[in-house]
Amino acid sequence: MTPSQSLPLDGLCAIVTGAGRGLGRVEALELARLGASVVVNDYGQPGRDGSGEASMAPAQGVVDEIRTAGGRAIAHLGDVSDQDQARSLVELAVTTYGKLDILVNNAGILRDRMIFSMTEDEWDSVIRVHLKGHFNTMHFAAAHWRARSKESGGPVHGRIVNSASEAFLAGSAGQPNYAAAKGGIVGLTTSTALALAKYGVTANVICPRARTRMTEDVFAGFRKPEDGRLDPLAPEHVAPLVGYLASPAAAGVNGQLLVVHGGMVAVVERPRVAAKFDSAKETFSFDELDEVLSPYYADRPPNETFAATEILGLKRG
C-alpha cells in the first residue's frame, strides 16, 4: 500500500464529540487508526484525582488509548450545547494541530417519555444537547473552513459527519424529543451540505444502531452472541463508515443519509411525491378535498404514515 492508502487521514485533524465512551470512542479510535490527529471531546467538569491534578477521564482514557497505539490525540472537556465551550473545542483543534479538517458530532442524551407525560425540561434538554450541540460545533467549524478557503483561494478538506437516528425515520413513539432532535439534525445537515459545498466541505448524516451506555435499555431485549462473533449491535460496526466519510475518498458524498449497523450500510432515498391533486377552481374547497383525499387514504393501509418503519427491519444479508 502507498502511505495515502494505508493512512487516508494522515495529516488531518478531527474532532469527535461525546467520544469518552460508546460510539464516539470507537469513532475516535478509528479516525486515529486511519492517521488523523483527534480531539476527544466529552461532557463533564474537571475533577480531582489522588495527586490533586485535574482529571479528564473518560476522555483522557481514549486519548491514552490512541497515544499508546502510536497516534496523536488531546482531550477536551466541555458541553457542546454551550456555544462558548463549542468555540473552545474548535479553537483547541486549530491551535494544537494547525487546522480542523473533520467534525464528527456524536454527543447526546436520552430522556424518553411518551408525549403526554414528557416534561418541559425533558424536551428542552434533549433538543439542546443534540440539535443545538450539532449546530454549535458546525457553526465554528464552518467559519474556520470558509476563512481557510477564502485565504487559499480554493476548496479545503472539510468533513462533517452528524449522528441522527432510526427513531426519526421510523417515528419512535416513546421518544418524541429525541426523534424531533434527530429530524432537525437531518435538516441542519442537508442545509449545511448545500451551503458549504463550494468551499470543498461535505456534510452527511448517519443513523447508527449500537449498544452503548445511552441505549442499553433500548436494546436490553437483544442478546449478545455467545459463540464469539461480534455483537451485531457493537459500535465497531459504525466506525468504519465514519472513517470513510471523513476521508478524501468520500469527496463525492454530500448531503446524504446512511443507516449503519451490524455489517450493513443502507443509503436512504430522499422523500418522493406519492400523489398530486389539482383544484378544479382557483383554490380547493372543503368538499373537493374530501372528494379527492378521503378515497386516496381509504385505499392505504391504516398504519402507513410518513414514518418509514420498514427501516427497522434492515439487516445484513
User: Active-site residue numbers?
Assistant: 165, 178, 182
Q: Which cell goes with 221?
A: 431485549
Measured from the Cβ of residue 147, the count of other Cβ atoms closer than 10 Å reads 12
Q: Do 206 and 161 contact (CB within 8 A), yes or no?
A: yes
Q: How far apart are CA 221 and CA 206, in angstroms?
A: 24
Is there a contact between 158 and 101 (Cβ–Cβ < 8 Å)?
A: yes
How are beta strands 73-77 and 47-48 bridged, if at all? unpaired
User: Could you report how far apart the first and last alpha carbons of the chain are, in Å?
Assistant: 30
Residues ≥6 apart with Cβ < 8 Å to 276: none
* Cβ-based neighbour number of residue 102 at 10 Å: 27
Q: Determine contact, residues 160/138, Cβ cutoff 8 Å.
A: yes
Q: 133-152 vs 83-97: helix axis angle to the nearest 10?
A: 40
Half-sphere exposure of 143 (CA within 13 A, CB side): 10
